[in-house]
Amino acid sequence: MSNLLTVLLIIDSVLIVIATLMQPSKQQDALSALSGGATDLFGKQKSRGFEAFMEKVTVVLGALFFGLSLALVYLSSH
C-alpha cells in the first residue's frame, strides 16, 4: 500500500509542476514586478476560460498531494 501511495504522490507531483507551468503569466512587464503590482490592485478581474480551469486543476492537485502525503505519513507510522 505504501508503494502505491508513493507512486501516486510522484505522479501528482509531476502533474502539479505541469499544471503550474501551463498557467498563463499574470505580469505584463518588469515594471509591474518592481512596483509590486499596485497598478493591478484595482483592475483585478475574475479568471475566465483556460486560466480559471488551470487554477482549479492546480488547487485539486494540491489538495490531492496534501491528502496523499498525510496518508503516506499515517501508514509509515503504523
Q: Is residue 19 part of a domain?
A: yes
Q: Is residue 33 part of a domain?
A: no
Q: Is residue 41 part of a domain?
A: no
The torsion angle over the Cα atoms of residues 50, 53, 59 and 65, rounded to 10 degrees, is -90
Write out pLDDT tens, residues 22-54. 988 766 555 555 666 555 555 566 677 888 899
Check pLDDT > 60 for residue 19. Answer: yes
Q: Is residue 37 part of a domain?
A: no
User: Helical H runs in 1-78?
Assistant: 2-22, 30-34, 50-77
The predicted pLDDT at position 20 comes to 92
The predicted pLDDT at position 40 comes to 57
Q: Is residue 40 part of a domain?
A: no
Q: How many domains does the chain have?
A: 1
**Whether the Cβ atoms of residue 57 and residue 19 lie closer than 8 Å to each other:** yes
Which structural domain, as residue segments, surrounds residue 66? 1-23+46-78
Q: Is residue 35 part of a domain?
A: no
